Structure formats: structure tokens, C-alpha cells
Amino acid sequence: MADVARFAGVSVPTVSRVLTGSVPVSEAKRDRVLAAIKELAFHPNAAARALVSGRRSMIGIIAPNTTRYGYARTLQGVEEAARAAGYVVVIVVVESEDPDEIQAAISLLLGQAVAGVVVIEFDPVAVAVAKALPTVIPAVVAGSARKRNSPLPRAYVHDQALAAEATRYLLGLGHRTVHHLAIPAATGRTGRAMGWRATLVAAGVPVPDQVDAAYDPSSGYEAGRVLVQDPEVTAVLCGNDELAIGLMRALSEADRSVPGDVSVVGFDDQSFAAMWVPSLTTVAQDFDELGRAAFGLLETRIRTGRSPRTSSVSPRLVIRESTAPPPKR
């Protein structure tokens, strides 16, 4: 600021007034200061401003992964909302449930001048992080299911309700039952698995064993190689689109057509879902909106000291070419 003041021929307080807009400055002086700022490529020091004003300008995000679709899109939603509100985002990745690693990551993040923290909670690692966060820092969770005992305010996608809708849709096409190829759960079962199972029980139809998988297409393919051996499998609800793609590859190799022999439903509506052949029926989840909702909860908590306990985002079923009535016997 002193360099800018010398370059513009004004006092340091004048530069401060131009930057903060707290006190009116003549247009001529303001123009000189702005020209000097541009010429010197001056950037205000956010950390110093936070020390003086008491207002912190950074938001922390803790996530076990930043590359998977749901994590990446939720991160983007938080960052966009935070940036619009004048905050900078700092991201810390925690990949292990080891308490020492979790505490090291939390210490690293809280060593910055963060105003609050968003935990992206799609797996057990993030659950452990949320429990370990100290109560002195405002924090919220962005997750995939509602949890009544969540220790923190929570934004979530209502995947349980849409898994139930997708299962009812497949049963409505005439399928005797629906199999489920499941992604890993943060705790217990995923909302998708719970919605699927509850719908089958309510309909009074057989409930097949859940087939557990990871997140990636190769895991869906390996699980699919087992499912294709069962001729009774005519409809499968997959925990994400990548599992669905792997499953369809396994079905193709076994000469079982989609949807002629087996109907397949995914989850997420990733960009490739509509381009696949056949195009994938799936549950579209707005993870960007989930991130924005989580930041909204956090901003309210920072500003007022309290916030609503939950904020939900509703997915929707997108019907395409990968589903049809079962084959006639």
C-alpha cells in the first residue's frame, strides 16, 4: 500500500479508503490510486485484512476424494457459491480413517484463517472427519442421505426416495423383482440401497441379495459377470452410472441385450449417460446444487451462529433407452 501511495502521489490512508470504500475519496485521487494498483499489480493481503478486520475470508473443504463425479461436482458448487460471497476456498484431502491422519489434516486446515468448514461426506472417512472436527469452528456436511443423528447441519441429496421411485418404475414395467449393484456406504447401507429394499418389501416381491461393488466401471463389470449367470436377473438398479456401464459391458459379452433381456438403471446422470448405446436410464443428481446448499448453511452459521439442521436437494428419474418390459417367457 505504501508503494501504491508513493506511485500515485497520495497518502497510505487514501489508498486504504479507495480499497475499502469506507470513506469517500475524490474521483481524481481514486483514479490515480486505481492506475497505480494496476501498474504495480498490487493485490491486497487477505490474511492481513483478516487480522485487522476480524473477518476471515477463506472457507475450508475436507474431502476424501476430489476426482469422483459426486465429489468433484459438489466441490464446484461450494466453490462457486463461496466465490460469489467473497470467500476463497481451501481444499484438504483425507484418504484414511486413521485418527492421526485425520487430526493432521484438520490441524493443517484450521492453521489457515478459515471462517468455516464443509465436509463432503460420501464415505466412512468423511464420517470420521465430521466427528473429529472441533466445535469451535463453524462446520456443515454435504452428504448423500439424511441422517437424523448427524452432529453437524447437513445438506443432502434425497437418493433414498429416488432409488425407491426407480425401483417402482422397473416393477411397473413388469419385472418380477429388481437386483441392486451397490456402491460403498458411508455408514450401514446407502440411501439408494435402503430405498430399493424398502420398495421391494412393500411390493411383496422377492428381495435379492445386494451385490456390493466399488465406484468404477471395472467393478461393475466384475459384478456383472456374476449377475449374468443368473437367468432370473431382468432388471438392475446400479449405485452409479459407472457401475451401470461396466454391467452393460458384461451383459454384452454374455449376449444378453439391454434392455431386451435386462433393464439397467444408473445413478448420477453423468455426461456420458445420454451418449451411451443404449442411452442410460438414470437418476439425475444435482451435486452442484448440493454444494451451493451446503455453503448456504455454512454462511448462515458464520453470520448468525445458527443455521437450519438440514437442506435437501431432490434428484429426478431420467428415462432413456436402457429400460423396457422384461422378456416374454
Q: Quick one: average pLDDT of 171-184?
A: 96
Residue 148 grid coordinates: 437424523
Query: What pLDDT does residue 206 have?
Result: 96
Same fold yes or no, 54-158+287-314 and 159-285 = yes
CA 197 to the chain's CA centroid: 24
Query: What pLDDT does residue 43 have?
Result: 67
Query: What pLDDT does residue 12 have?
Result: 86
The 10s digit of each residue's pLDDT in 179-217 is 999 998 877 778 899 999 999 999 999 999 999 999 999
Query: What pLDDT does residue 309 have?
Result: 82
In the predicted model, is pLDDT for residue 148 greater than 80? no
Q: In the CATH hierarchy, which fold is given to the domain comprising 54-158+287-314?
A: Rossmann fold (3.40.50)
Query: What pLDDT does residue 329 have?
Result: 66
In what helix (H) or strand (E) does residue 115 lie, and over which residues does it extend? Answer: strand 114-121
Q: In the CATH hierarchy, which fold is given to the domain comprising 159-285?
A: Rossmann fold (3.40.50)
- Structural class in CATH, domain 2-44: mainly alpha
Percent of the chain with pLDDT over 90: 67
In the predicted model, is pLDDT for residue 291 greater than 60? yes
More confident residue, 50 or 275: 275
Show me where the domains of the chain are located: 2-44, 54-158+287-314, 159-285
| Rounded to 5°, angle at Cα 302 from 123 and 44 | 105
The 10s digit of each residue's pLDDT in 248-265 is 999 999 999 999 999 999
| Residue 262 half-sphere exposure toward CB, CA atoms < 13 A | 28
| Rounded to 5°, angle at Cα 300 from 296 and 302 | 115
More confident residue, 265 or 8: 265
Across the beta sheet with 211-212, the strand order is 211-212, 179-182, 235-238, 263-268, 281-284, 316-318
Q: Quick one: average pLDDT of 141-149?
A: 80
Q: Quick one: average pLDDT of 19-45?
A: 81
In the predicted model, is pLDDT for residue 112 greater than 60? yes
In the predicted model, is pLDDT for residue 15 greater than 60? yes
Is 285 in contact with 241 (CB distance < 8 Å)? no
